[in-house]
Structure formats: C-alpha cells, structure tokens
Amino acid sequence: MRVEIWSDIACPWCYIGKARFEKGLAAFAHRDDVEVVHRSFELDPNRPKGDIGPVIPMLAAKYGRTLEEARAMEANVASNAHAEGLGYLADGRDHGNTFDIHRVLHLAKARGRQSELLDLAYRTNFAEERSVFDPAVLAEIAVAAGLDAEEVRTVIADENAYADAVRADEREAAELGANAVPFFVLDRKYGISGGQPAEVFAQALDQAWQERTPALRPLGDAAGDRAGGDGETCGPDGCEVPR
C-alpha cells in the first residue's frame, strides 16, 4: 500500500500531522507493506524569495491580531506539538518562500534521503533557533541528511533544479482537490485532510488495506493491434516463444 503526503515545511499541522500519522502507522498491522512518499505543496508560492522574517509579526498582520494574540496562536500550536513529543519554539520560526527547500527535498528523494531531510527541515524550522530559510542552513541539514555537499550546493544555486518535480507535485495536489495541507492519499483512492489523531490514521489504513488491490483492468488486448494478445512473458514454467 502506498501513502502520499502533501505538505509544506512552513505548515505546523504538517509537522504535527506527520508525527500523528507515524503513530497511526506504527499501530497498523501491515506497516511494513506501506510505502510513504512525501510530496511538495507551497502554502505561499508567491512570496518573494528574499522575503524572510520572524513569523509572529507576519501572523499578527495576516490575521489582524496583536502581537500578543499572534504569540498565543503559536503557543497553542506549540502545545499540540509538545503533546506529540515534538520540539516547538513558539516564537522561534521564520516565514519565507519554501520553493528551494522543496527542490532540495526532491534531490533527497532521488538519493533515498527524503525522510531524513524532511525530519531535519521540520525540526530546524519549528524547534531550533536557526532558520531553515537561510540557504547555508538548508545546505547544512541536507548534508547532515546524507546528501553530497557539492550536489546540494549545485541544486540550491540552480533555480531550475528539481523545479519541475515540485510543480508536478503541486499540479497533482490540485487535480486531487487538495487546497490545504497536510493531505494524505492512500493508494490514490482515499483522501485524508489534516493532522488527524493517530487513531484516525490507523483506522484509515485498516480500511484502505481491506480494499486494496482491486481487480486490475487489463489493458493491451483492446489497445493493441494483435488479436487477443498479451505480450510475451516468462513464468515459472519458462518463457513464451514469439508467434
């Protein structure tokens, strides 16, 4: 079974939802047969690349609240994070454009290090003083996740590197009807929106598992120009000889 998770590194419910999903997955009997794929979603794709700053004043301006009220909002989210055992500095993080972070996450995916880098990126953004929007910090955590330093530098410097992969993920999110994150898709059949409790994920995995591997519809016969033809195969009893 395959679970795709659309998220943004700037999204606290994605950070919290990931931990809840992983608890649900740990409680799921067939967890070893679940493949998890993380996909890109930018909450604020139009934010200029250099526009980086502390999140509290941004939240206050965005919601028309006082700084104190914005701080209380972050504290509320922080307590939800702490309840999942996650670090969260309630006034530590920056806001900014996450496109470059997603591009480097796609490099990490290609090198089998996506999960490691995603965890580090979340932790850096939400639980540490340093800013994940600083390209030097991004490079540092990418190397800590196991990526090659030179390759990371090249990807960060080249705005086109993995840009198509980020945009393809975002197109798919739109096609699937996801306009907020985290968004979880099970076997391209079930959608789960938001950082649900772990038990909800466990139950959803159970349900999707019961209904997995539906009968495949055969293609090839009808589409091909060969009468009734499957292509040649090899099986336990040997290989077919061409007609």
Interface with a second copy, residue 154, by CB under 8 A: no
> Between 36 and 55, how does the x/- string for binding to a second copy read (CB under 8 A)?
-------xx-----------
Interface with a second copy, residue 191, by CB under 8 A: yes
Least separation in angstroms between residue 96's CB and a second copy is 15
Least separation in angstroms between residue 137's CB and a second copy is 22
> Between 60 and 99, how does the x/- string for binding to a second copy read (CB under 8 A)?
--xx---------x--xx--x-------------------
Rule CB under 8 A: choose which of 129, 225, 227, 228 binds a second copy: 225
| 133 closest CA partner among 97, 92, 163 | 97
**Contacts of a second copy in 158-177 (CB under 8 A):** 164, 168, 171-172, 175-177
| 134 closest CA partner among 125, 147, 145, 143 | 125
Give the integer Cα–Cα distance in Å for 161 and 119.
22
User: What residue has token string 């700037």?
Assistant: 10
Least separation in angstroms between residue 88's CB and a second copy is 13
**Contacts of a second copy in 1-30 (CB under 8 A):** 2, 8, 10-14, 16-17, 20
Neighbouring C-alpha atoms within 13 Å toward the C-beta of 27: 15
Give the integer Cα–Cα distance in Å for 71 and 89.
11
| 86 closest CA partner among 74, 78, 96 | 78
Interface with a second copy, residue 187, by CB under 8 A: yes
Least separation in angstroms between residue 194's CB and a second copy is 3
Interface with a second copy, residue 228, by CB under 8 A: no
Give the integer Cα–Cα distance in Å for 149 and 142.
8
Interface with a second copy, residue 112, by CB under 8 A: yes
With vertex at residue 39, the alpha carbon angle to CA 37 and CA 44, rounded to the nearest 5 degrees, is 160
**Distance (Å) of CA 228 to CA 72, 221, 222, 233, 238:** 67, 5, 7, 15, 21
Interface with a second copy, residue 217, by CB under 8 A: yes
Interface with a second copy, residue 150, by CB under 8 A: no
For residue 39, the SS3 value is strand
Residue closer to a second copy by CB (options 39, 131) is 39
Give the integer Cα–Cα distance in Å for 176 and 19.
23
Rule CB under 8 A: choose which of 48, 85, 150, 216 binds a second copy: 216
Least separation in angstroms between residue 135's CB and a second copy is 22
Least separation in angstroms between residue 190's CB and a second copy is 4
